[in-house]
Amino acid sequence: MLMIGPPGAGKSMLAQRLPSILPPLAPRELLEVSMIASIAGELADGKLSDRRPFRAPHHSASMAAIVGGGLKARPGEASLAHHGVLFLDELPEFSPQVLDSLRQPLETAECVIARANHRISYPARIQLVAAMNPCRCGMAGEPGHRCLRGPRCQSDYQARISGPLLDRIDLRIEVPAVTAGELVGAARAEGSAAIAQRVARARALQHKRYTALGLPGWTTNAACSAALIEDIVPLEADGMALIRDASEKLGFSARAYHRVLKVARTLADLDGGDRVTRIHLAEAISYRMAGDRAARAA
C-alpha cells in the first residue's frame, strides 16, 4: 500500500495502526517470526515473540539493512517484518537501488543473499506500507497551495520510484490534509476492534477456501498463484468488460491484472460475499489509479 498526501495528514499514524487490525500470529507464524528475530540478535534465551512485526527503517538505510547481508549474512528489515508490516516513510528519499531490491521479496516472499562462498534465503512475507508527499515541497495539489519549484518538482520526486516497484504495489491511496477545525467535535470513527473482527472473518473465509482446494498452507489471497486466482474469480460479462477497458486505458501489465483480481476477491471476502461483483472490481481498479491522479494534480 502506498499513501500519498501532504505532511501532517496522518499517513504515519495510519501505518502504525495497521498491526492492530491484523489477526494474532498462528503458532507456525509465531515460530518463524521468533526464529528470524533470534538470528538477528533481537531475542535471547529461547524467548518467543507473539506480536506481528512492525518495522520502520530510516530512509538512509542501506541495501544490506533492508534485505539482509553483512559478513554473517544477517536478516534485514524485510525479513524481520515477516508476517507483519514493513513501513517505509518518505519513500522517494530511499535510495533507488534499495527500493528496487525489494522487488524480489514482494514477488517471492523471501530474501536471497548470495555471496561468493554461501547462499542464504530468509522468509519475507510482508505487507509493504509506504508513505510519501506528492512533491519535495510537500504541498502540491493541495487547495490554496502551489509548489514553489513548479511541475517538475512533483514529477522528478515521484520518478524516484521505479515502474516495476510501483507495479507491485496494489493499493495507492490519497490521504488529504485534515485541519484542526475538522477534528474538533468530529464523530467517533469505527474502532480498530470492530475492523479487526471483519478482517478475521475475511481471513477465515480465505483459509477455508484454500484448505478445500488442498492448499492448507495458503491463508490469504495474496499467496494465490496467477492461474488459480483466475479460477476462483470467474468474471461475469460486465466485470470482464470493465477490467478489459481499464487494462487498455491504464496499460495494466499481466501482474497488475492478476493483482486487481486478488484485491477484488479480498474486497468480496470483507463483504462476506461468495461472488466478486463489478463493484468489487471497480474499487480494486480505483486503488491502482490513485497514484496516477496524484501525479496529475498540481
| Per-residue pLDDT reduced to its tens digit, 60-82 | 999 999 999 887 889 999 999 99
Cβ distance 206 to 221 under 8 Å? yes
Strands (E) across 145-221 are located at: 172-174
Please report the pLDDT score of residue 267 as a whole number: 96
Cβ distance 258 to 248 under 8 Å? no
Cβ distance 86 to 74 under 8 Å? no
pLDDT at 160 over 50: yes
Model confidence pLDDT, tens digit, residues 134-144? 888 876 666 66
Question: Which residue in this structure is represented by grid cell 528489515?
Answer: 77
What are the DSSP calls for 9-34, one per residue?
SSHHHHHHHGGGGSPPPPHHHHHHHH
Please, which residues have CB within 8 angstroms of residue 228's CB and are 6 or more apart in sequence? 213
pLDDT at 49 over 50: yes
Q: What is the mean pLDDT of residues 205-213?
A: 92
Question: Which residue in this structure is represented by grid cell 489477526?
Answer: 23
**Which of 121, 118, 126, 83 is CA-nearest to residue 102?**
126
Residue 149: which region, alpha, beta or left (left: phi > 0; alpha: psi -120 to 50)? alpha
Maximum average pLDDT range among 39-53, 211-225, 229-243: 229-243
Answer positive or negative: Cα dihedral of 263, 156, 4, 65.
positive
Please report the pLDDT score of residue 1 as a whole number: 94
Instruction: Set out the domains of the chain in order of their start, with CATH numbers.
Output: 2-183 (3.40.50.300), 192-296 (no CATH)
